Amino acid sequence: MSHTLEFKAELKQLLHLITHSLYSHPEIFLRELISNASDAINKIKFDSLSKEELLENNKDWKIKIIPNKEAGTLTVSDNGVGMSRDEVVENLGTIAKSGTRAFVDMLKNQQAQNRPELIGQFGVGFYSSFMVADKVTVLSRPAGDPKNAVRWESDGQGQFTVESAEKSTRGTDVTLHLKTECKDYLEPFTLRSIVRKFSDFIEHPIVMDVEKEDENKNKTVTEETLNSRKAIWLRNKSEVTPEEYAEFYKLISHDDEPPAKVIHYTAEGAREFRVLLFVPAHKPMELEWGEPKSGLRLYIQRVLIMERCEQVLPMYLRFIRGVVDASDLPLNVSREILQQDPQLEVIRKNVVRNVLQGLEAMKNTEYEKYVTLYKGLGTILKEGTQDWANRDKVADLLLFESMKTPKGEYTTLAKYVESMPPDQNEIYYLIGESREEIEHSPYLESFRAKGIDVLLLTDPIDEFAIPNLGQYKGKHIRAVDRGDLDDKKEEKPEEDASFEPLLAFLKDKLPEVRDVRLSKRLTESASVLVADAGAVTAHFERLMQRFGRDAGDDAGKRVLELNPHHAAVVAMCDLFAKDANDPRIEDYGRLLYDQAVLAEGSKLKYPSAFAKRINDLLVKDAKG
């Protein structure tokens, strides 16, 4: 009995786009169908490791391409895992996958309307058939279940039908009823070249029957294998051309640009494994949205075991794409058990070390390329400051603007430390919203006066990543808007004592601050707010507010520092000495506090009170 079902609404939208947009590379439909067939074969190969009977003695893995000129159809047939009726309805009638979902979400923002070639990048896979076909029939039979074959059919217009069917062998046949203008996809020449272009590295044979004519015009049919199949990571580095690497990279990454760097080696020792990794030239599209996922495929003896193996490549390297093929890992255990195999840890250490070395080499020898990559991916890389074992290597990969770098140019921690004056013991940084904002911050005054460089950071993650680092080459890394500065050599000036009563008075009148003290960091400004060593800075507090979080009740309380050399502060001190009850002192104290709030980039709580105080002063001054 045949049932007619509706596509889910989002899928209708997607299909509409696919069939009505002018699509620049319709031939990728074949890549998508072949990749599904290959996935299906990998699945049954994997499942059969623990359940041999699923194979039904058919281990001749194959993807067949069958053009039929009379019928005007093209069939892609596999002996993979197959689908049951429920699976067909689920997999081909709804959008369950996160990648496809992200694509559909993007459609809603209309962005994709202009760039329909994105379809390929998202692997909206199966549905790309409707670019070239006005009807698609899927005949499938699940492995180990001979009686439950199913036929699915749709014109891609909003509905599909499913019915029970007969199929003698396991696997799936996808038959495209080609549109009149797409009949070229029945030509062996065309099919051969598309397969070479997009699917050459697929490990299973992709075959097609071709008719050959001998001298006597006798026709014979032979099966031709269209792809070279050689798993590129198993080949010798010296035998692989840059073009081949680039093709393979495209195949696994859906990135249109060639990779910035190839890391290809065989790890030898107690255990051998092959590694082929790619550093992208820019931030991969996939990382712009959706859940973060690792980009490493784990193979064991050429069987794909895990598509996204976080155990081997940690999340902060999720922009790396590639393959690890381990020959000694146990094949026939469940993924859960495999994940606990100590050898995975050995592989992980090795792979991470090599990736970090590769990035370091890129930074040193291909700096421009590295900078481009860093601009897109630095934020992700900084997550690696949590990787204890590799923290120093990650630290070496970070780029920073500083007071001494021109805007848009970078220094590194190594360079910073190298050019530190001998008596400087710490690495200084300041975080804020933009370089312009922090460059004008009063926190930098004394540093500028002494010619000490300060790293200027503007990435929100810096608030977490840089404190994570803690130190670099034995030098403490320190925020300049936090705590006492390391100036122990300088004696406390004598005159400080004369300010004490005023400081105590202001502390009492300004409950907003934790303390009031004299500053060593100011040369021009009269006042500044600083966070105590363990407390949160103004930038961090604003960041948390942006994420709708409170940094904590008392957390925002900072220390008000006054510049003892500033005329305004000196004048106040004199005033206080003459008459401690002068009502102006509290007013002036508030003004200094408000200035400091504005200077750290925060908002005044009572802007009108601030304006009134300024205006009162103005009136007094004008009346002279």
Q: Which of 135, 174, 181, 127 is nearest to 154 (CA)?
A: 135
Whole-angstrom Cα distance, residue 100 to residue 157? 18
Of residues 36 and 73, the one with the C-beta less far from ligand ADP = 36
Least separation in angstroms between residue 132's CB and ligand ADP is 15
Q: Please choose which of Mg ion, ligand ADP, none residue 40 contacts, taking the beta carbon within 5 to 8 angstroms, the exact cut-off set by kind.
A: ligand ADP
Q: Binding segment for Mg ion among 35-43, 420-428, 468-476, 609-617 (CB under 5 A)? A: 35-43
Please check whether residue 354 is in contact with residue 313, taking contact to mean a CB–CB distance below 8 angstroms. no
Q: Answer with the entry of ligand ADP, Mg ion, none that 80 interacts with (C-beta below 5 to 8 A by kind).
A: ligand ADP
Which among ligand ADP, Mg ion, none contacts residue 81 (Cβ within 5 to 8 A by kind)?
A: ligand ADP
How far apart CA 449 and CA 447 sit, in angstroms, is 5
Which one of ligand ADP, Mg ion, none is in contact with 462 (Cβ closer than 5 to 8 A by kind)? none
**Nearest CB to ligand ADP, comparing residues 18 and 351:** 18
Nearer to ligand ADP, 117 or 512 (CB): 117
498 interacts with, out of Mg ion, ligand ADP, none, CB within 5 to 8 A per kind: none
Q: Which partner from the list Mg ion, ligand ADP, none does 97 bind, CB cut-off 5 to 8 Å by kind?
A: ligand ADP
Tell me which of ligand ADP, Mg ion, none is bound by residue 133, counting a contact when its beta carbon lies within the kind-specific cut-off of 5 to 8 angstroms. none
CB under 5 to 8 A by kind: which of ligand ADP, Mg ion, none does 573 bind? none
Q: What residues does 439 pair with on adjacent strands?
A: none
CB of 548 to Mg ion, least distance (A): 38
Binding segment for Mg ion among 32-40, 375-383, 387-395, 591-599 (CB under 5 A)?
Answer: 32-40
CB nearer to ligand ADP: give 101 or 302.
Answer: 101
How would you label 573-597 residue by residue, b for 16+ Cβ within 10 Å and e otherwise?
A: beebeeeeeeeebeebbbbbbbbbb
Q: Where are the alpha helices (DSSP H) in 207-341?
A: 242-253, 335-338
Nearer to Mg ion, 125 or 295 (CB): 125
Instruction: Work out whether 128 is an interface residue with Mg ion (CB under 5 A).
Output: no
Q: Which does 92 bind (CB under 5 to 8 A by kind): ligand ADP, Mg ion, none?
A: ligand ADP
Going 16 to 19 to 20 to 25, the CA torsion angle's sign is positive
Interaction pattern, residues 202-221, with Mg ion; x per rule: CB under 5 A: --------------------
**Closest distance of CB 113 from Mg ion, Å:** 23
Contact between 442 and 528 (Cβ < 8 Å):
yes
Residue 614, both tokens: 């300024």
Residues 6+ apart with CB under 8 A from 81: 40, 41, 43, 44, 47, 142, 143, 170, 171
| Among Mg ion, ligand ADP, none, partner that 557 touches (CB below 5 to 8 angstroms by kind) | none
Judged by beta carbon distances under 5 to 8 A according to partner kind, the member of ligand ADP, Mg ion, none in contact with residue 588 is none
Q: Are 59 and 79 in contact (CB under 8 A)?
A: no
Residue 42 touching Mg ion (CB under 5 A): no
Q: Which long-range contacts (CB under 8 A, 24 or more apart) does 260-265 make?
A: 260/362, 260/366, 260/369, 260/372, 260/373, 261/358, 261/362, 261/366, 261/369, 263/322, 263/354, 263/355, 263/358, 264/233, 264/237, 264/240, 265/237, 265/354
Rounded least distance, CB 381 to ligand ADP, Å: 28
Nearest CA-CA partner of 302 in 206, 199, 203, 198: 203
- Measured from the CB atom, the residue of 42 and 390 that comes closer to Mg ion is 42
Select 142 or 322, whichever has its Cβ closest to ligand ADP.
Answer: 142
User: DSSP assignment of 38-69, as one string?
Assistant: HHHHHHHHHHHHH-GGGGTT-----EEEEEET
* Six token digits for residue 63: 């993807």
Segment contacting Mg ion (CB under 5 A): 119-127, 135-143, 165-173, 291-299? 119-127
Sheet arrangement for strand 475-479: 401-402, 455-457, 426-431, 475-479, 471-472
Q: Structure tokens of 30?
A: 């074949």
Report the residue number, 36 or 527, with the smaller CB distance to Mg ion. Answer: 36
SS3 122: helix
Contacted entry of ligand ADP, Mg ion, none for residue 202, CB cut-off 5 to 8 Å set by kind: none
Q: How far is the CB of 466 from ligand ADP (least distance, A)?
A: 38
> Considering only 117-125, 420-428, 513-521, 531-539, which stretch makes contact with Mg ion by CB under 5 A?
117-125
- State which residue has the least CB distance to Mg ion: 125
Which does residue 155 bind out of ligand ADP, Mg ion, none, counting CB within 5 to 8 angstroms by kind?
A: none
What minimum distance in Å lies between the beta carbon of 181 and ligand ADP? 24
Q: In sequence order, what are the residues at sequence separation of 6 or more whose Cβ sits closer than 8 angstroms to the Cβ of residue 590?
A: 509, 510, 609, 610, 613
Interface with Mg ion, residue 125, by CB under 5 A: yes
Helix extents (H) in 170-294: 188-199, 242-253
Work out how close the CB of 34 gets to Mg ion at its nearest, in angstroms, rounded to a whole number: 9
- In this complex, which beta carbon is closest to ligand ADP, that of residue 86 or of residue 328? 86
Closest approach of Cβ 87 to ligand ADP, in Å?
A: 7
Looking at the Cβ atoms of 77 and 441, the one nearer to ligand ADP is 77
- The option from Mg ion, ligand ADP, none interacting with 78 (CB < 5 to 8 A, set by class) reads ligand ADP
Helix (H, G, I), strand (E, B) or coil at 579: coil
| Near Mg ion by CB under 5 A: residue from 36, 294, 390, 412 | 36
Closest CB to Mg ion among 202 and 317?
A: 202
3-state helix, strand, coil in the chain (%, to 5): 45, 20, 35
Residues engaged in binding ligand ADP (CB under 6 A) = 32, 36-37, 39-40, 78, 80-81, 83, 91-92, 97, 123, 125-127, 172
What does DSSP assign to residue 562?
Answer: E
Question: Alpha helix (H) ranges present in 518-606?
Answer: 538-546, 567-578, 583-599
Nearer to Mg ion, 125 or 322 (CB): 125
Q: How far apart are CA 285 and CA 265, in angstroms?
A: 27
Give which of 575, 592, 437 is closest to 513, Cα–Cα: 592
Nearer residue to ligand ADP within complex by CB, 126 or 416:
126
Helix (H/G/I), strand (E/B), else coil: 462? helix
Query: C-alpha 482: how far from its chain's center?
Result: 31
CB of 365 to ligand ADP, least distance (A): 37
Given the rule CB under 5 A, which residues bind Mg ion? 36, 125
